[in-house]
Every structure is written in C-alpha cells, then in structure tokens.
Amino acid sequence: MKRVSFLVVLFLTILSLVLNGCSVRLARHEAVSRQDEGSVFMWEVNAKEGDGKLYLLGSIHVGTDDMYPLNPIITDAFDKSDALAVECDVTTLYQRSDYLKLMEKLMYTDGTTVKDHIPEDLYNKTDALLKEKGLSIQFFSLYKPIILAQNISNLMLDEWGYSSNNGIDMHFISLAKERGMEIIEIESVEFQFDMLGGLSDDIQVMELRHTIEEMDAYRSQLEDMFRFWVSGDVRSFEEFITSEDDSLTPDEMELYREYEKIMFDDRNLYMADKAEEYLKTGKTIFYVVGAGHMVGDTGIVKLLRDRGYTVVQK
C-alpha cells in the first residue's frame, strides 16, 4: 500500500508557520459513519446540557488563492460563532520578546551541527538538493533535521503555488482579528515547538530522508488531499491519510508508531477534552485544528461520539 508523505500529514496536524515537514499516518480506522455524509469537512456538536455548540472544522495548514471563497456552510457557521479556537495563534510569533528563545527548541545549542546528527549520505543528498535551489546546507547547519526538512518543503511549496498564508487556520485567525472576535489557543506555540524539537534523532532523520527521496510524489498527494477536503469526502480523505506501507521494516514501523502516538493519539485526547470544556461554556465555538486530528479511530470526531455526543457532518 502507498505511504502518505510527512509533508502531507504535518499540513493536517501542525499549525506553526515554520512547520512544513513530511510524515506518515499509519492505518488504524473503522468505516466512516453515516453521520459523515455532509458536503464540507466540518461537524456540528451540541452540548449535552445547555446551549453550548461546536463547529469542528478540519483544517489544511497551507492553501492556494483559488481555495477562496470557502463554502458558505463553513462561513455561515463562523458568522454564528462567539469565539474561534485554534491550535495556536502564530500571527504574533515574530513579535514575541522570547522568539529567539523559542527557536532554540528547534536548533542545536550544544556546539554540534546537523552534520553531526545525520548520516553522511543524507547530508550530501540534502546539500545537493539545496544547491539546485541556489542555497547550501550551511545556511541551515544549526537547525534540527525536521526543520531542515520543512525549509526544503517550503521551497517546493512556493514553486507549486501553496502558501501557509492561505491555510484555513490563518484565514480565520485574520477574520477573527478583524472582527474583534475572541481567539482561544487549544495548544500553544511553545507546545508545538517542544514537541517537534523533542522528537528523537531517529524520527528526525527519517523525516529528512523521506523529504529528500520522495519529493516527486508530494505534489500529486497534495492535489488528492485538497480534492477530498474541498468536496467534504471524509471517507476518501481518511483512507488517503491512513494508508499503510507494507514495505516498512520492523524498526521503521516502530518509529512510525512512536511518531503517531506523539503527533495524533496523545494530542487528540487533549483536544477532545478541550472540546468538552468549551461545550460547557454555553458559547458557540468555531473549533479549527488540523484535519488529520478529526478522522480515524483516535480522531476527535470518534472520541466525542464515544463520550455520548452527537457529532454530525455538515
């Protein structure tokens, strides 16, 4: 079976503007419910008691100009909402007084460089690719492999016409600020930086290697992903991102399971807990997180249904 790139999965799970890396989602899902037969990638959830309501919108964190305007079902739900909840608000990141300290979480500060942490063949392949773009790996020598991978992905995204500024989250954060709407951070920039910077060397090397060796496949994967998202085809979308590669070695499989737990399972539980918390406020919250968090056995939609909520795709 095919393996979906790290690039695609991070577009579905991580908001921070510096994050455009690549990953895999391993297959663990059930058949999509009949409740998931709407026309957009959004679900409505009502509180068990009181007037609380959530609109759960699965986001893609990069986009193109022609994605807009969005489906009126989505924009109408936003217009009815009292507050916007997102993974984190990155629009103020570069104005933060602790910005450089935050960036250290993604860098080597012990006197080593990326050359000391990745195999020689991968170092040379990465440098060769960057030189094709008029750059050198020396420009990124202090960054950890995952950030190096993401910078390379950014170069390709620009060529393909994708931008984080056109991501769904960024679109609604901008609208919320224009309207003076309350913005709630479900996670935080600090959390996301700690999580990525704290990934093991083995996982980071794996991400960089797949970025370098599989870039040619990414564009078609992105096009498929956007097509499913725009049409609200949850079933095809879920099958797309949960495809498992039967060629993985046992060691690679173990690394992917570790990555999956960090990026999806643990965070999904936390996000579902926060969703319940917001439902108890009596407000209508427009809740936007990466689309990869919505689907599958450990996705937010299923977690909330398992807790007794009616969750219906719009």
- Amino acid identity for residue 117 in this structure: H
Pick the more confident residue, 226 or 174: 174
Q: Please give the C-alpha separations between residue 56 and each of 89, 106, 300, in angstroms, as whole numbers.
A: 17, 30, 9
Domain residue extents for the chain: 6-313
- Amino acid identity for residue 234 in this structure: V
pTM greater than 0.85 (yes/no): yes
* 69: alpha, beta or left? (left if phi > 0; alpha if psi -120 to 50): beta
Pick the more confident residue, 73 or 21: 73
Question: In the prediction, which pLDDT does 24 show?
Answer: 32
The answer to whether the beta carbons of residues 311 and 45 sit under 8 Å apart is: yes
The span from the CA of 293 to the CA of 103, in Å, is 25
The span from the CA of 32 to the CA of 99, in Å, is 42
Count CA atoms within 13 Å of residue 245 on its CB side.
17
Question: In the prediction, which pLDDT does 308 show?
Answer: 98
Question: In the prediction, which pLDDT does 35 show?
Answer: 54
Query: Which whole number is the average pLDDT over 145-169?
Result: 88
Question: In the prediction, which pLDDT does 27 show?
Answer: 34
Query: Which whole number is the average pLDDT over 103-112?
Result: 94
The answer to whether the beta carbons of residues 62 and 166 sit under 8 Å apart is: yes
pLDDT in tens, 81-97: 999 999 999 888 888 89
Please, which residues have CB within 8 angstroms of residue 121's CB and are 6 or more apart in sequence?
none
Question: In the prediction, which pLDDT does 245 show?
Answer: 65
Q: Please give the C-alpha separations between residue 301 and each of 98, 166, 307, in angstroms, as whole numbers.
A: 35, 25, 10
Give the E-state strand segments of 60-167 in sequence order: 83-86
Instruction: Tell me the pLDDT of the chain averaged across its residues.
Output: 86
pLDDT in tens, 204-262: 998 899 889 888 778 888 888 889 999 999 999 988 877 766 666 788 888 888 988 99
Residue 181 has pLDDT above 60, yes or no: yes
pLDDT in tens, 23-62: 333 333 333 444 556 789 999 999 999 999 999 999 988 8
Pick the more confident residue, 219 or 9: 219
Question: In the prediction, which pLDDT does 310 show?
Answer: 96
Question: In the prediction, which pLDDT does 170 show?
Answer: 92
Nearest to 211 by CA among 1, 60, 3, 12: 3
Residue 137 has pLDDT above 50, yes or no: yes
